[in-house]
Amino acid sequence: MNPLFAPLQVRSLALPNRIVMSPMTRERSPDGVPGPDVAAYYRRRAEGGTGLLITEGVAIDHPTAVDSPRVPRLHGESALAGWRTVIEDVHAAGGRIIPQLWHVGPLWGAMSAVDPALTPMRPSGLWGQVGKTVYPDDYIARASAPTPAMTEHDIADVIAAYVRSARNAVDVGFDGIAVHAGHGYLLDAFLWESTNRRNDGWGGDLRRRAQFPVEVVRAIRREIGPDLPIFYRFSQHKQQDYGARIANTPDELGLVLNALVEAGVDVLDASIRRFDVPAFEGSELTLAGWAKKLTGAISMAVGSVGLDRSLRDAGTPGPADLDGLLRRLEAEEFDLVAIGRLHLTEPALATILRDGGPIPAFDRARHEGRLY
């Protein structure tokens, strides 16, 4: 059997195959409300055979969660009604769908103009050390200005916002929860030394820096109960600095990931720009491979699957064979494969791969068209 098409059970979620649609921001939900075009977008991928759809990042119920008014939210009557339609359409097509809960944290203001009266949520009021990034100098200059550090009230307020949005997700019928905790966003900012300089229970050594994301997961698990799965996206790199790391050794990574699994995470979504790059010197294991080895939890690989280069590299990505991916999947280095950009090119990607068809070519027009 092609290992991509083996079934997998994650708590109450029965997946028919190992192909997941990776979260991708589309900005086609005016005032945060997903409409019929968003429902059709997700339904097409379910009809195309993808085992699980993870939505684009969705704003939790907090005023500085997301800075674009066209990113969908997971609170408010109209937005929740829109999501019910999305879920009904996906389920009618035989699909499964979970939302990715999102708080941008230090990166508030990167997507669009924001209310200057609102303060971005930053563990220590810092944007983080600047390295290789795609952000323009003028934004970096503004964002690098220190802001007030999060207070205990701020921390409690954000945790409560995650809980409210997770409850909303359950109530409208989603099949689980995904949490965006990578790329320099809020939960990741607590893990990164450059953005977390606190000396209290929320900062200091790595174990204490991990406490905020652990408490978020623990609170979500208490709210949603034991049946639904929690997916957790983490990364080493940040949007502020592609070379940044939260863990310099496997032991450090294991300390963080085991705490998250103990708190209630079921699937570790290991986000990296290329899924097959070794995570640490001296081993060929990928980031997803280390996540599984260190914790025993289900892990998911993501990053330029089916493409010969990252979108951020020079040139247009071309197709790349899946032989290496299939070997790693068959060897059980990781369990799931999240594919982003090729799902934009071809909604029936999973069916094409099942039938042995060619890998679709990257389509920049559809990628930049935001919704297809």
pLDDT tens figures, 233-243: 999 999 999 99
What is the predicted pLDDT for the residue at 1?
Answer: 63
According to DSSP H, which parts of the chain are helical?
36-47, 77-92, 137-143, 152-172, 186-191, 206-209, 211-224, 250-263, 287-295, 323-330, 341-345, 349-354, 364-368
Beta bridge partner(s), residue 10:
13
| DSSP assignment string, 215-238 | HHHHHHHHHH-SSS-EEEEEES-B
Token pair for residue 217?
């997961």
Q: What is the pLDDT of residue 250?
A: 98
Extract the tokens encoding 38: 């968003």
Question: Is 185 among the catalytic positions?
Answer: yes
Q: Which residue has the tokens 């499964």?
A: 96
Q: What is the pLDDT of residue 362?
A: 86
For residue range 22-78, what is the model confidence (pLDDT) as tens digits?
999 999 999 999 999 999 999 999 999 999 999 999 999 999 999 999 999 999 999
Q: What is the pLDDT, as a whole number, of residue 309?
A: 87
pLDDT per position as a tens digit, 87-146: 999 999 999 999 999 999 999 999 998 999 999 999 999 999 999 999 999 899 989 899
The one catalytic residue in 41, 42, 162, 185 is: 185
Q: What CATH number belongs to 3-367?
A: 3.20.20.70
> Residue 368: is its pLDDT beyond 90?
no
232: β partners: 179, 268
Give 205-229 pLDDT, tens digit per residue.
Answer: 999 999 999 999 999 999 999 999 9
Provide the 8-state DSSP code for 31: G
**Token code pair at residue 259:** 């705490």
Q: Over the stretch 160-212, which tens digit does the pLDDT of each residue have? A: 999 999 999 999 999 999 999 999 999 999 999 999 999 999 999 999 999 99
* pLDDT value, residue 365: 87
Separation CA 298–CA 260 (nearest Å): 13
Q: Please, which pLDDT band fits residue 311 given cuts at 50, 70 and 90?
A: confident
